[in-house]
């Protein structure tokens, strides 16, 4: 574990909080918060969730020591961090929605392809629920158990499934 390790940053932040909230040793706490923030930014970037606690700690120090300019500066950084966090959360949510829509579209396309090929209801249901996964599973199932088995085209495998059902 090096001096810029994640666990080091966490420990430094916790020690800073001890100095800040329990021992009123603000100068020690300030140095530790700044170090923790530096490591967090290097490792995880400006939207890292752990930064909030260090920012809040610094704001408290600067308010209690009447350094209102610094308190305002770190309050502004905290607001900026919230904006970044909220934007990242929204982007993740939108990406998840796109992935769900893509999976639903793939499932619908697989079901439509199965219907067009006259495949049984059971195979259609499997295609509809599994989307593209049925193609992969059927391809590998058709390859047989041995390493050297020749993979069969998906259409033949689906035809075999229809006959079995």
Residue appearing with tokens 């199965």: 114
Neighbours of 77 (CB within 10 A): 16
Question: 103: Cβ–Cβ under 8 A, 6 or more apart, which residues?
Answer: 131
The most confident of 30-44, 87-101, 102-116, by mean pLDDT: 30-44
Q: Which CATH number fits domain 6-93: 1.25.40.10, 3.40.50.720, 1.10.10.10, 3.30.1340.10?
A: 1.25.40.10
The most confident of 28-32, 44-48, 111-115, 146-150, by mean pLDDT: 28-32
- Residue 156: is its pLDDT beyond 70? no
Query: Strand ranges (DSSP E) for the chain?
Result: none
Least confident span in 15-29, 56-70, 77-91, 136-150: 136-150
The pTM for the full model equals: 0.55
- Residue 135: is its pLDDT beyond 50? no
**Sign, CA torsion 48/50/54/56:** positive
User: Is the Cβ–Cβ distance between 88 and 47 less than 8 Å?
Assistant: yes
Average pLDDT of every residue of the chain? 78
Predicted confidence band of residue 3 (pLDDT cuts 50, 70, 90): confident
Domain ranges, ordered by start, for the chain: 6-93, 100-164
- Residue 34: is its pLDDT beyond 50? yes
- Residue range 4-10: mean pLDDT, rounded: 87
114 or 19: whose pLDDT is higher? 19
The pLDDT of residue 40 is 94
């Amino acid at each position: 574990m090096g001096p810029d390790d994640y666990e080091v940053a966490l420990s430094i932040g916790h020690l800073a909080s001890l100095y800040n909230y329990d021992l009123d040793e603000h100068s020690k706490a300030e140095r530790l918060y700044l170090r923790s923030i530096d490591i967090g930014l290097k490792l995880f970037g400006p939207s890292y969730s752990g930064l909030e606690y260090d920012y809040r700690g610094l704001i408290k120090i600067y308010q209690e020591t009447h350094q209102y300019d610094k308190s305002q500066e770190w309050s502004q950084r905290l607001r900026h961090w919230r904006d970044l966090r909220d934007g990242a959360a929204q982007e993740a949510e939108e990406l998840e929605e796109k992935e769900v829509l893509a999976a639903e579209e793939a499932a619908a396309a697989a079901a439509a392809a199965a219907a067009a090929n006259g495949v049984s209801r059971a195979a259609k249901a499997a295609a509809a629920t599994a989307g593209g996964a049925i193609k992969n599973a059927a391809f590998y199932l058709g390859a047989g158990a041995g390493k050297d088995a020749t993979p069969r085209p998906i259409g033949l495998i689906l035809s075999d499934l229809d006959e079995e059902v």
